[in-house]
Amino acid sequence: MNKAQLVEAIADKMGGRQQAADAVDHVLDAIVRAVVAGERVSVTGFGSFEKVDRPARYARNPQTGERVRVKKTSVPRFRAGQGFKDLVSGSKKLPRGGEVAVKKAPKGSLTGGAAATVKKAAAKKVTKAAAKKVTAKKAAPAKKVTAAAKKAAVKKTTAKKTTAAAKKATATKAAAKKTTAKKAPAKKVTAKKAPAKKSTARKTTAKKTTARKAS
C-alpha cells in the first residue's frame, strides 16, 4: 500500500478524499518534524518514532570489500508497539468490520505531543502564508514608486538638457548680434571716405582747365 492507497482506504471515514489526504499529510508532517527536533512520538498500540544517534564507525564496501570509515550520523527509528506485534504475529486476531486495530486514545489525552505538533505545524503554515501575502502587497507599491521615480528622473534630465541647449542657443545668438554690431561702423567709415576721392578728382580737373585757359 502506498500513500495514495492509504488515502483511499480512509477517505470514507474522513468524509472525502481531500480530507483524508490532508489528514495523512498533517500526521506525517507532524511525526517528521517532532523526530527531527529530537522528540519521541509514541502511539499506543501502534509504535513509536524516535531519533537515534550513530557514532562514527568502520564498515566494509560490499562490492570491493574495502574498509570505509563512516561518519557520525542520526537516523530515524520505528519500534512497533506490543499490540501491533501481537496482530502481526497472529497471537491476536484482527478485528473485522473496519474497526481500529490499535487502542483509541482516551479523551483529553491529545492535548500535547503529536496533536500539539500538528496544531503548531498548521499555525506555522498559516503564518507563513499571511507573511507572504503581506510581503507581496508591500513589494508591489514599492516597485510602482520606483518606476514613477525613474520616470520623474528621466523627465528632469530631459528638461535640464533642453534648458541647457536653449541657453547655449541664446548665448550664440547674442554673440552673433554683438559681432554684427561691431562690424557695422567699419562699413560707414568706408562710405564716408569715398567722397574724398571724388573731391580730389574734381580738383585735378579744375587745375587742368585753368592751365588750358592760361595757355
What span, in angstroms and rounded, lies between the C-alpha atoms of 80 and 43?
9
Counted domains in the chain:
1
Residue 163 lies in a domain: no
Residue 43 lies in a domain: yes
What value does the mean pLDDT of the chain take? Answer: 74
Residue 67 lies in a domain: yes
Residue 69 lies in a domain: yes
- All three cell numbers of 77, joined, read 527509528
CATH number, domain containing residue 101: 4.10.520.10
79-134, pLDDT tens digit by residue? Answer: 999 999 999 999 988 887 655 556 566 665 554 444 454 455 555 555 555 556 65
**Among 107, 100, 51, 38, which residue's Cα sits nearest to residue 79?**
51
15-26: average pLDDT = 94
Residue 59 lies in a domain: yes
Residue 78 lies in a domain: yes
| Contact by Cβ (8 Å): 104, 125 | no
Q: Which residues constitute the domain of residue 61? A: 3-112
21-30, pLDDT tens digit by residue? Answer: 999 999 999 9
